[in-house]
Amino acid sequence: DVQLQASGGGLVQAGESLRLACAASGFTFDDDYVIGWFRQAPGKEREGISCITRRDGMTYYAESMKGRSKISRDNSKNTVYLQMYGLKAEDTAVYYCALQGPVSAGKGCSDNAMDYWGKGTLVTVSS
């Protein structure tokens, strides 16, 4: 079974940076796939942050954290990172990583285009 383990969340002060990691395992996709980061704040709908393709590292950034985040990958570790900068109180949320496999390939970087989800990691930004 495909498993995604998000880590790196915690409590930070406003203005600080944080790096999240998403370790993927349990798949045997020969084709390219996409891993994305999403978040859900209390009382709000889940929103997309960024996606990256495994093969050539193409990236997509949603407006939610554009300019304050950078997504990267380490294919040797099947791990995708989300570096976040200048965190604000409104960035407080549970952050999830998700994988788009062959079934949903080409459907873009949105939560309804992802096939597998991790459990999320909580990021709390104090002001």
15-25 per-position pLDDT tens digit = 999 999 999 99
Give the per-residue pLDDT at 67. 95
What b-and-e string marks burial along 13-22, b requiring 16 or more CB atoms within 10 Å of the CB?
Answer: eeeeebebbb
Overall average pLDDT of the 58-85 stretch = 96
pLDDT for 114: 96
Average pLDDT, the chain: 95
Distance CA 79, CA 87 (A): 22
pLDDT of residue 95: 98
- Predicted pLDDT at 73: 96
